[in-house]
């Protein structure tokens, strides 16, 4: 909002300066009697020199009763042009029309035909073709101004008086587009910030949903003593910890998206661990960016795939046939093991790794400030002893 306000103030001040300059220049019109005396004597009044071609065109215009005035000003001079025409008429001058040229426009006064003629030649004067503009103006009047004006004080509203107004109009239009541009950018930034916060909130909820899973699966992986499961758990828990540490610091959509991808993969790895621990088929990783699988082509039948892993029910049936008790499935509900049980279950490299991860979560990986409502105590004990959720 501050940027927009400054821009609008700058536009308004610029317009006022231009209008003030125009008004000041208008107040400095040359002496009317001096201008008319010069016209009566030479057919022209020049405050600024013109080229030879323009001088010749002025001579031809004088012969047809057209006077020429060149003022070195950027101001609008319609009133002054009318005063010159009226004074020439009052003196019964031989000039029935006057063409006044400034640095920003032209004004034609005198016979009625002067108005349309002035409008027609405005583009030539605007292009700097003064001689051509005068000749064209003379031709359009067709001698109507010769011998003096037949309509005292007649005025034409012609030709280029709008030149000075082009700049304020451009500034006003530019200010309008600037306003829309700044407003659009503000809306875009607000929408982007809201999208980032929404994504951040979803990731935090995802972390909360997996907080117990990190602890519970650690116990099961330790008991399984499977190197593959240990490796998967190490990677998933480290990813979980990294996302927990970085999610509050992510400020761009790219950073939040990267953390979102990481926690999605970690969650999938947790599901793989649960499936392997219960003897089920691990779920596939749903990569939305991966290309679709190839369509099988017609041809000889391929070798049938190897049999999948034995389900938990089939495995239990095999145990019963052998006279053994089925292996109990890991429980998904939180449980509170004793310290001696926890000490026997944690050993070697995995025990140190899991303890390090969980202590890091406890000491440095908590999300939010100590007073935030998201940090609630999950339980007083867990698979690795007393631990608080990072929320």
- The three-class DSSP label of residue 67 is strand
Q: State yes or no: pLDDT of 149 exceeds 60.
A: no
For 304-323, what is each residue's pLDDT tens digit?
555 555 555 566 666 566 66
Beta bridge partners of 101: 70, 106
Strand 97-101 relative to strand 106-110, pairing? antiparallel
Q: How many CB atoms lie within 10 A of CB 23?
A: 11
Query: For residue 330, what pLDDT band results from cuts at 50, 70 and 90?
Result: very low
CATH 1.10.287 correct for 2-161: no
Query: For residue 301, what pLDDT band results from cuts at 50, 70 and 90?
Result: low
Give the angle subtended at the CA of 183 by the CAs of 178 and 189, to the nearest 5°: 125
> What value does the mean pLDDT take over residues 266-281?
89
Which pLDDT does position 388 carry in this prediction? 34
For 21-63, what is each residue's pLDDT tens digit?
544 444 456 889 999 999 999 999 999 899 999 999 999 999 8
Which pLDDT does position 2 carry in this prediction? 54
Which pLDDT does position 35 carry in this prediction? 93
Mean pLDDT comparison of 24-33, 70-79, 146-155, highest-scoring range: 70-79
Tokens in use for 305? 């795939």
Q: State yes or no: pLDDT of 345 exceeds 90.
A: no
The string over 262-300, giving b where at least 16 C-beta atoms fall within 10 Å of a residue's C-beta and e elsewhere, is bbbebbbbbbbbbebbebbeeeeeeeeeeeeeeeeeeee
> What value does the mean pLDDT take over residues 87-113?
88
- The three-class DSSP label of residue 166 is helix
For 52-62, what is each residue's pLDDT tens digit?
999 999 999 99
The string over 165-203, giving b where at least 16 C-beta atoms fall within 10 Å of a residue's C-beta and e elsewhere, is eebbeebeeebeebeeebeeeeeeeeeeeeebeebbeeb
H or E element that contains 239: helix 227-246
CATH 3.10.310 domain range(s) in the chain: 2-161
Which pLDDT does position 5 carry in this prediction? 59
Query: For residue 15, what pLDDT band results from cuts at 50, 70 and 90?
Result: low
For 200-228, what is each residue's pLDDT tens digit?
898 998 888 888 888 888 888 888 888 98
Q: How many CB atoms lie within 10 A of CB 226?
A: 14
Query: Distance between CA atoms of 282 and 370, rounded to whole angstroms?
Result: 38
Residues near 163 by beta carbon (within 8 Å), at least 6 away in sequence: 104, 105, 126
Query: For residue 387, what pLDDT band results from cuts at 50, 70 and 90?
Result: very low
> What value does the mean pLDDT take over residues 151-174?
56
Q: Write down the pTM of the prediction.
A: 0.35
The residue whose two tokens read 């004990």 is 381
Q: Are 236 and 266 in contact (CB under 8 A)?
A: yes
Q: How many residues does the chain have?
A: 391
Q: State yes or no: pLDDT of 103 exceeds 80.
A: yes
Mean pLDDT of the chain: 72
Which pLDDT does position 223 carry in this prediction? 87
């Amino acid at each position: 909002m501050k940027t927009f306000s400054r821009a609008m103030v700058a536009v308004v001040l610029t317009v006022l300066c231009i209008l003030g300059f125009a008004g000041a220049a208008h107040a400095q019109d040359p002496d009317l009697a001096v201008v008319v005396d010069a016209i009566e004597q030479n057919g022209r009044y020049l405050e600024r020199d013109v080229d030879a071609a323009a001088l010749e065109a002025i001579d031809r215009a004088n012969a047809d009763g057209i006077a020429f005035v060149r003022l070195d000003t950027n101001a609008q001079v319609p009133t002054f042009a009318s005063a010159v025409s009226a004074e020439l008429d009052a003196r019964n001058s031989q000039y029935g029309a006057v063409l006044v040229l400034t640095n920003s426009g032209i004004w034609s006064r005198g016979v009625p035909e002067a108005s349309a003629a002035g409008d027609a030649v405005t583009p030539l004067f605007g292009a700097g073709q003064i001689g051509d503009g005068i000749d064209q103006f003379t031709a359009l009047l067709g001698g109507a101004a010769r011998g003096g004006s037949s309509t005292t004080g007649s005025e034409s509203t012609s030709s280029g008086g709008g030149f000075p107004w082009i700049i304020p109009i451009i500034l006003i239009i530019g200010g309008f587009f600037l306003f829309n541009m700044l407003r659009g950018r503000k809306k875009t930034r607000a929408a982007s910030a809201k999208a980032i916060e929404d994504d951040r909130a979803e990731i935090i909820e995802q972390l909360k949903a997996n907080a117990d899973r990190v602890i519970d699966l650690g116990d099961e992986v330790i008991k399984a003593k499977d190197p593959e499961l240990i490796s998967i758990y190490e990677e998933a828990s480290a990813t979980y910890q990294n996302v927990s540490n970085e999610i509050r610091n992510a400020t761009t959509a790219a950073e939040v998206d990267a953390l979102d991808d990481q926690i999605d993969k970690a969650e999938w790895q947790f599901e793989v661990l649960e499936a392997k621990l219960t003897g089920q088929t691990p779920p596939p990783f749903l990569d939305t960016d991966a290309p679709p699988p190839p369509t099988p082509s017609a041809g000889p039948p391929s070798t049938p795939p190897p049999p999948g892993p034995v389900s938990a029910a089939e495995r239990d049936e095999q145990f019963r046939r052998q006279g053994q008790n089925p292996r109990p499935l890991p429980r998904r509900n939180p449980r509170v093991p004793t310290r001696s049980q926890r000490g026997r279950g944690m050993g070697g490299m995995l025990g140190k790794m899991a303890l390090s991860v969980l202590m890091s979560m406890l000491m440095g990986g908590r999300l939010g400030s100590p007073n935030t409502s998201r940090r609630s105590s999950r339980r007083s004990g867990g698979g690795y002893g007393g631990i608080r959720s990072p929320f």
